[in-house]
Amino acid sequence: MRKGNPEELRSEYSREELGKGVRGKYLKSYREGTNLVLLTPEVAAAFPTDHAVNEALSSLIEVARRAGRPRRLTSRPRPSGRQVQ
């Protein structure tokens, strides 16, 4: 290997100098997952921390659960034969 400024990158590297790669080295951590999302600037301003975002989303989930499943509006005739308008 050439000696030089250790802070400077060389224009090319040979495969042998990079060492042996390890297949699947980060697979476990990848499968465990990381949920990163990009927030718009407006949302980031309103919720500046991950705790604030999680708290708001948890509240929204709870409100949705309490509200129950919304009824579906259809244009099918009612059993009495009248149309829903």
Number of structural domains in the chain: 1
Q: Is 39 contained in some domain? A: yes
Alpha carbons 42 and 69: distance in angstroms, whole number: 30
Establish if 26 belongs to a structural domain: no
Report the run of H or E that residue 61 belongs to, with start and end: helix 50-67
pLDDT over 90 at 16, yes or no: no
Residue 4 placed within a domain: no
pTM of the predicted model as reported, rounded to 2 decimal places: 0.43
How far apart are alpha carbons 61 and 58 in whole angstroms?
A: 5
Split at pLDDT 50, 70, 90, the class of 84 is: low
pLDDT tens for residues 36-78? 788 999 999 999 998 999 999 999 999 999 988 766 666 666 6
Domain that holds residue 48: 33-66
Residues 53 and 47 sit within 8 Å (Cβ to Cβ): yes
